[in-house]
Chain A
Amino acid sequence: MFEFLESGQYDLLGAFWVTVQLTLYSAIGSLVWGTLLAGMRVSPVPLMRVFGTAYVNVVRNIPLTVLIIGCSLGLNQTLGFSMGAERFEDIGFRLAVLGFSAYTGTFVCEALRSGINTVPVGQAEAARALGLSFTQVLRLIVLPQAFRAVIAPLANVLIALTKNTTVAAAIGVAEAALLMKEMIENEAQALFAVFGVIALGFVLLTLPTGLLLGWVAKRVAVKR
């Protein structure tokens, strides 16, 4: 039943390694971008708040697939952006990371913003009474507490991102979902085995993430 794995024709580990890499790079990208967006949305400058709100509301409502296809057809093929990559595989990979970061950043922003709202007003008031500036209050007092409060929601965002990386198959990035499509086409007789193997891979990727970060969230939560 699992002969197709032994034939050496399919690089299962390699495909999942691409999935993991996609997830990691996009996670870093969306964490940075999401934090910036959250900073804008809570800042005292009205224009930044407007931009942050507009970006989050618009991008969140566009299907991820549209963004990824847009990166490939629009940015790359029409405008000629290649994100500094030469090889076809690299271009697709980097475009996908860009699309995932732009999309997932909005969810990170919303999670962080709700975390900022869990910080008691007294904390910031005390910090301001000490003479700290807005950026200092945000950086030293509010964000550290906010981050500790939102680890569990961020874990959910990360899990969703892991699953969303499969959409990169639509622009030909050689990750797990694309390999599954290829295996199903060639190994029709082993359909359930193929699905089982890929499904197992995703369970192994998402389950430990949830458990580990859930444990971390409990440990670092600020007891109030």
Chain B
Amino acid sequence: MSSVLYDTPGPKAKARNIIYTAVFLVLLALAGWWVIGTLADKNQLEADKWTPFLEGKVWTTFLLPGLGETIKAGLIAMVIALPLGALFGIGRLSDHAWVRVPVGAVVEFFRAMPVLILMVFGSALFVKFTDIDSEIRPLYACVTGLVLYNASVIAEIVRAGILSLPKGQGEAAKALGLRKSQIMAHVLIPQAVAAMLPALISQLVVILKDTAIAGAVLGLGELLSMNRQISANYSNTIPTLVVIALLYVVLNFALTGFASWLERRLRQQKKKSGGTAAPAVTVTDKAGGDGGATAAIPAQGDGSDVVSKD
């Protein structure tokens, strides 16, 4: 394999690489040995701390309901944030300053806020001004925080998506005599949505990850919050946290995999129809760049994608 940094290795380089591999392997093994040793010292490797996860009970009572709550909160937030974000994104592109400026201010403000702050504020708002049951309040607060934050991030994705379309698309529609709303609804949005889909799915990963904040701070009964109940029952803090982390990884991997599959598919379709092939690529990039809020966007998708885009 050859790259910017090195040629295909010759005999000398191969020998050197083997030495490096050996040294690195030893380092890894030492680290692993140390971790396992420490865990064993504190009795974290004993079978009875891990076997609960092989039985159905811990899954049906704790993990699966928690996972369900995580997905529920994430999906509700996504379903509300998407249209709201699209509206904000289009609003920022408005020809009228009285729409563009306030919407821009709102988007920039909520993009600069930590989600946790928004969730805590949302929770306090519900306590003060509504009589929502305290059972369901954490979910409301969690969704409120996620929606406010992610709608403004999605607004930026939408804006970048529409701006990345070739100028001729809008001009041709104008020349046909379509109204501004028609140009948006029939020409620009459908193309932009196709290009933005992968970025939007990556945003769902961010939302799912952020629900954990509500679990820790507001007491929402989502996946992470289950660690308290499980470790209270089996006194196995570390195994529980490891299993929960793995569940998140699997869930997010599935979503990311879906996103890159979708992106590949969309790109192939574009190639076939010979339409606007470029935006599909640039949008994800741009959205990542601007959506500073969520450094996660460019990082999602497998590594080689990032390489080829540049």
Contacts and interface: CB of A to CB of B under 8 A. Distances in A.
Given A137-B5, A180-B120, A117 B310 contact: yes
B3 A42 contact: yes
Interface stretch (B92-100, B188-196, B294-302): B294-302
B13 A48 contact: no
A156 B44 CA distance: 38
Contacts of B198: none
B252 A114 contact: no
Contacts of B296: 60, 107
A25 interface: no
A29 interface: no
Interface residues of A, number: 76
B224 A63 contact: yes
A138 B245 CA distance: 34
Interface stretch (B17-25, B57-65, B132-140, B161-169): B17-25
A152 B205 CA distance: 23
A164 B298 contact: no
A74 B24 contact: no
A57 B305 CA distance: 14
Nearest to A73: B237
A34 B213 CA distance: 24
Interface in B166-224: 205, 208-213, 215-217, 224
Given A44-B9, A118-B310, A153-B295, 7 more contacts: A45-B21, A117-B307, A134-B5, A163-B114, A166-B117, A184-B124, A191-B125
24 contacts: A44-B6, A44-B9, A51-B24, A61-B209, A62-B249, A63-B210, A63-B211, A66-B212, A66-B224, A66-B241, A73-B241, A79-B39, A107-B295, A110-B299, A113-B307, A116-B4, A117-B310, A163-B114, A167-B213, A170-B217, A177-B120, A180-B117, A181-B217, A203-B109
